[in-house]
Structure 1
């Protein structure tokens, strides 16, 4: 179905604020923009048979009123449009109804549209007004069905459908060629903006339309024209009561389908058209993200500086979905208009608007409280500043020589300072002290900032060497990886060279070490290239593509030591593992495979549900929508019913395990961490010497834990010391008495 990338918030690094917009930083969207939009034209048959309600059915609870196929199709269309507001707001949807009586309703015969057709919704981008129009139509029809529940007799077709889509007389149905021509013109009139996946959803219950005997060739010709323009037809054939739709009579011929594809079979009956529409709605629950191209850069390998150079494209396999950025609008007037935002910088003193050339960038360094005017020349770069800097350097050399001479002759050495610029500063006590101001560069140009970030490396992936998988640790993966694939358009022969590199890495069981700079606005990073072999499913389709996963490695600053008191995980006993195995077996998903895309983010679902109710002027009832919004809500009753006894037995086995010593505190269970006396600091000595305030809070807590002193939940250092004073006094007095003896 549709794939869409809406606006989303971005984490902007602080360095980015120092750079102007760069054309090289724009992500290439040419490879995903086409596939990210979906354009659907519903072509619905509105003949008398489609508007005839299905027979009523009786059950012990009462009579189930039958609904017409046209009403069910329109309900499905309204639901699909409602969901596309979320899954594909940039998509286009149109509704064309044919076999309409042209004498009772104005025909949409503008241009080449055929009489007997009615364009209920033009093929345009999804919008709330068009969706509300069809929603109200379906609701009015549903109300008329509900009003007939208390009446006797057969269910009647709602009058609102007959008035909106008056069916033509039997025998006056349109030729299918004319219907397909109208579909073609609708896509044509929508303009060239319909770049993406273009489809016609054809719904009918007539397997032998008029002209099926002699006028098949025009229909085949028009169908070929649709394929030429990239338009495909998805058919939804509806069965009539006591009549199974047979596509071999007419439709397989004009759609160039083999008879075996849609031939009805008693053993494996064909899926009915209305059921297929329901499946299409279920697919729209999943919001597919396109394989977005993140970067297109060269990959260098071989030789000293990468003598072999090929082109690769990087894809993001994992992306986060956000609520999107709200837009500023003007609320006054008849219509809400989007406003154009513009940022301007003004002077703090005069309030005048500053031009771009009047604005500089500077860093505060050390204790400097003010920044020099960056529009003026740096004083240290002037001749006077250079002369003073040289004089200071000469003075330092002179003092060093004089100090060495005095040391050799045994004379007393004084700590002399060179004459430098001095500033008077005051500390917290109000005392003034003298500090030396060294040469400091506070301002940088945009070009200098870019050079700092790039470190002289152009956007590329440069392979430095290869190593075995045993040298790579799992915890070195700190961010989402990329997947690279050859880009033949950048360098001819990239695919062949890339395939040879991938084959060699798989054969030798090696991965590559590389220095990477993915885009012009990023910094260089070290990464490993993990090879992935191409695999296929049982029916021959590709399961995983061939390529390399680019795993960014952490720098030394990204590594953290283990927390204090960290203990290794305890290995479960054989009995505990067996009990947990029983729990997992009874709580396993029926499908046998967890599909994360089926469970949308509850926060996003709640956000979109509110927007939908506001846009369609509907009441928002959270309690009735909780099951639809939060698919991740645990089914506690079913879980405890299926595995409750095993859960209780597993909990008992953990409580009986001597290794899991636990204490109950604040309603939560926390593992007791043993503290060795050798690891404790001399708290008593520090208290006796009056320097207990200099100890760390954790050291005081460890001392209290070892001696089993309750701190009463205190966390501040002063409060902890107050709790320990009584114990420390006894410890000091006890040590004094022992010393006297």
Structure 2
């Protein structure tokens, strides 16, 4: 019979079909940089990286926006970026803006358009001019003196810009950058807060999320509780309790203490939080909430290449599509008319006189000599067992019953979806708190995609945690696919050698010296060197810059000098203890590359199975090979061979 994928394969588009439109929204990303252009943002300060050089917060924000665009040209060429400045008296040269409407004292530096090298080079030229003349930005974008643009007008302008320039199916985000923590401290404050919150709700209803970057300095600390905690939407599950206590629903760590950290903070938020699926979560019959699932671990790969057609005066991207051709008619075949079936093997037949009503579910009758065919919908029903996408709660177990070896696949993180079912956030939060307080995990039957296979999953709760550095572990539930019995194989050796306590202590001494700070590994700080080298060459080619291979820095290379300084002596002591330990000198051979099958077994493996009383698991040829190597007779049945092997092991 042909391989499974040869005949039981659905179109790739259907394979990736999800429950809702969030899958299509993840195709493109749109970022609108909304940057404050007030007097404090244009105030000249000493550059932290260069001596005798003046800079300002606006310059740093524009430079961060430029760096994000340069990175996105490589990793997300289909994305779009725009820059909106507010609190400035700058107007467009022709008296009109690039969008239909725009509030006063707001200016579009770059409209929302797909990323391109000329667009980024214009921003680079502006920054180069600002480096030579520190007053360039103040002259180009004169600040608004004595008053500020209402925050509601800023959100409204963002809404209009995104409405006119962003694709409808894109993920839309606003990066709000400002250093003013109380923009409306004068009369009418309450009304302005209400207006800002109302216009922000309009943004959210349009599918736009606002991610703030608040600049805080020693001379001017940023207090989010003055204005933005009452304006921006909550970011946690405890919205109702926080608002009831009149406390800030935004963490204090949202402000940036050092302006030079602005780019690093933006890179954390550079990739949008795209939901992998959005399905109903059935807690009981007639009791359902909505959840979204996110992948916490994703491998970043090189971008896919494209085909181009040379039209003489220009190069156009060639679009590819897959069609099925009827060999007899040499014409395209409609996908809906394609059926699936086995290419070889005995066909299923049914007696012509048999009553069809006695046939069970999934049985297809065919005439003698013919093979059965199935439609795409029938193939999908075989895989999904007739279930609809969703998560069904089955019960609860103690946390200790979830073993380490149960996690054989990457887990996913689910979060409530208030837009699907009203009250999902509150119900989800109650379930999360109850499971965490009682130290319980849940079992669920899960089908996250229409064309996936149902699996049993463990639901592991996670509370919200903040450490001294402000690192946030969001509240939610980990969805861990549980393995079936044949997914976990027994180790070939039942009993392994154990290191002595002295050897463990010697190893623990130098490991503690080289452990990662705070026990967390920041993957953004150590990019894939091969991928980073590839992207650096593409970036230099796109911007017509000369690429110097020697200037490339591999951040994953270990600092040998610092390692030897911290733990060199401890590693030498451990190595000497390892050499003198008898159990460390026993080598168990492992299988190499795929060549001819090796049926022989090592003496250590046979002895371990003998001590465990499972010699019967070995094959006859393995027992004979062992006896031949020990100059023992190999005649007799398997029981005789086992007795002979046991006798030799007892005597040796």
- TM-score, normalised to structure 2, is 0.65
Task: Verify: 1:66 aligned to 2:24, yes or no.
Answer: no
Once residues 194 and 576 of structure 2 are traced to their aligned partners in structure 1, the CA distance between those partners, rounded to angstroms, is: 70
Does residue 1:581 correspond to 2:560, yes or no? no
Please tell me whether the aligned partners of residues 78 and 134 of structure 1 are also in contact (alpha carbons under 8 angstroms): yes
Q: Out of 587, 595, 613, which is 2:522 matched to?
A: 595
CA contact (8 A) 2:86 2:149 kept: no
1:280 aligns with 2:262: yes
Superposition map of 1:106-145 within 5 A: 106=93, 119-124=108-113, 126-139=115-128
User: Are 1:554 and 2:483 an aligned pair?
Assistant: yes
What does the per-residue CA deviation read over 1:517-571, in whole Å, with 9 as the maximum and x for residues that have no partner?
Answer: 33321222233344x26455589x99666665433222333232333xx254433
Partners of 2:144 and 2:428 lie apart in 1 by: 58
Contact kept? 1:87, 1:284, Cα under 8 Å: no
Q: Residue 92 in 1 paired to residue 70 in 2? A: no
Q: In structure 2, what is the equivalent of residue 79 of structure 1?
A: 67
CA contact (8 A) 1:20 1:446 kept: no
Taking the TM superposition and a 5 Å limit, the aligned residue runs for 1:184-223 are: 187=158, 189-192=160-163, 196-202=172-178
Q: 1:546 to 1:32 in 2, by over 3 A?
A: farther
Q: For residues 352 and 706 of structure 1, what CA distance do their matches in structure 2 show?
A: 69
Selected match of 2:574 from 626, 647, 650:
650
Partner deviation per Cα, 1:569-602 (whole Å, 9 max, x = no partner): 4332222122122202321334554333433333
C-alpha distance 584-281 of structure 1, shift in aligned 2 (>3 A): same
Structure 1 position 448, deviation (Å): 2.5
Distance 1:386 1:73, change over 3 A: closer
Instruction: Tell me the SS of whatever aligns to 1:612.
Output: helix
Change (3 A) 1:189 1:335: farther
Alignment-derived partner of residue 33 in structure 2: 40
- The whole-number CA distance in structure 1 between the counterparts of 2:429 and 2:42 is 55
User: Residues of 1 paired with 2:229 and 2:368: CA distance?
Assistant: 83
Cα distance in structure 1, aligned partners of 2:222 and 2:487: 63
Are 1:353 and 2:332 an aligned pair?
Answer: yes
Three-state SS of the structure 1 residue aligned to 2:516 is: coil
What is the CA–CA distance in structure 1 between the aligned matches of 2:396 and 2:48, rounded to whole Å?
Answer: 72
CA–CA separation in structure 1 for the residues paired with 2:48 and 2:335: 75
After superposition, the Cα gap between the structure-2 partners of 1:489 and 1:574, relative to the gap in structure 1 and judged at 3 Å, is: same
| CA distance in 2 between partners of 1:616 and 1:475 (Å) | 48
- The DSSP-based 3-state class of the residue aligned with 1:452 is helix
Distance in 2 separating the partners of 1:589 and 1:448:
52
TM-fit CA distance, 1:42: 2.9
CA contact (8 A) 2:17 2:23 kept: no
* Distance across 1 between alignment mates of 2:586 and 2:95: 78
Q: Work out the CA distance in 2 between the residues paired with 1:550 and 1:253.
A: 38
Shift of 1:32: 11
- Structure 2 counterpart of 1:290: 273
Contact 1:28/1:293 (CA < 8 Å) preserved in 2?
no
Q: Of 328, 332, 342, which aligns to 2:311?
A: 332
Q: Which residue of 2 aligns with 1:28?
A: 20
Equivalent-residue separation in structure 1 for 2:221 and 2:307 (angstroms): 54
Cα distance in 2 between the residues matched to 1:276 and 1:576: 45
**Mapped contact 2:412–2:478 kept (Cα < 8 A):** yes
SS of corresponding position for 1:82 = helix
Contact kept, 8 Å, 1:46 with 1:99, in 2: the verdict is: no
Give deviations 1:302-338, integer Å, cap 9, x for gaps.
Answer: xxxxx45423425234241433444444443655544
1:615 matches 2:615: no
* Deviations 1:247-268, CA, capped at 9 Å, x for gaps: 99xx9999999xxxxxxxxxxx
Equivalents in 1 of 2:48, 2:427: separation in Å?
67
Q: Distance in 2 between matches of 1:676 and 1:253?
A: 72
In the aligned structure 2, how far is the partner of 1:496 from the partner of 1:178? 36
Cα offsets for 1:272-319 (capped at 9, x unmatched): x99743211012333555262524134254xxxxx4542342523424
2:294 paired with 1:316: yes
How far apart are the structure 1 equivalents of 2:22 and 2:286? Answer: 27
Distance 2:33 2:307 in 1: 30
TM-score (norm 1): 0.59
1:737 counterpart residue number: none
Contact 2:59 / 2:127 at 8 angstroms: preserved in 1? yes
Alignment equivalent of 2:378, drawn from 448, 458, 466: 448
Cα deviation, 1:384-425, whole Å, max 9, x if unaligned, reads x848x99xxxxxxxxxxxxxxxxxxxxxxxxxxxxxxxxxxx
Q: Is the 8 A contact 1:83 1:285 kept in 2?
A: no
Q: Secondary structure at the match of 2:532?
A: helix
Count of matched residue pairs: 558
* Cα drift, residue 20 of structure 1: 8.9
Query: What is the match of residue 395 of structure 1?
Result: none
Secondary structure of the 2:282 match is strand
Residues 364 and 559 from structure 1, CA distance in 2 versus in 1: closer, same or farther, beyond 3 angstroms?
farther
Unmatched segments (≥5 aa) in structure 1: 1-11, 58-62, 146-156, 258-270, 302-306, 372-377, 391-436, 681-693, 709-741
Q: Where does 1:630-709 land on structure 2 (aligned, <5 Å)?
A: 631-662=555-586, 673-674=603-604, 702=626
Give the corresponding residue for 1:605. 532
Deviations along 1:23-60, one digit per CA (max 9) or x if unpaired, are 9942435599699754213344699x959796999xxx
**How far has the Cα of 1:182 moved from its partner?**
9.1
Distance in 1, matches of 2:193 and 2:109, equals 22
- Structure 2 CA distance, aligned partners of 1:586 and 1:56? 31
SS across alignment from 2:326: coil
1:159-178 to 2 correspondences below 5 Å: 162=136, 166=139, 174=145, 176-177=147-148
Task: Pick the structure with greater CA Rg.
Answer: 1
1:215-235 superposed Cα distances (whole Å, 9 cap, x missing partner): 976999888755543388866
Q: 1:644 to 1:538 in 2, by over 3 A?
A: closer
Partners of 2:502 and 2:451 lie apart in 1 by 55
Q: Provide closer, same or farther for how the CA distance between residues 457 and 288 of structure 1 changes in structure 2, counting only shifts above 3 A.
A: same
RMSD: 5.8
2:320 aligned residue: 341
Deviation at 1:706, TM superposition (A): 5.2
- d(CA) in 2 for partners of 1:573, 1:498: 47
Matched ranges for 1:219-234 at <5 A: 228-230=198-200
Range with bigger deviation, 79-88 or 637-646: 79-88
User: Following the alignment from structure 2 to structure 1, what is the Cα–Cα distance between the partners of residues 48 and 370?
Assistant: 89
- Which residue in 1 is equivalent to 2:405? 475
Label 1:252 to 1:331 Cα distance change in 2 as closer, same or farther (>3 A).
Answer: farther
1:17 to 9, 14, 25: 9
The structural deviation recorded for 1:657 is 0.8
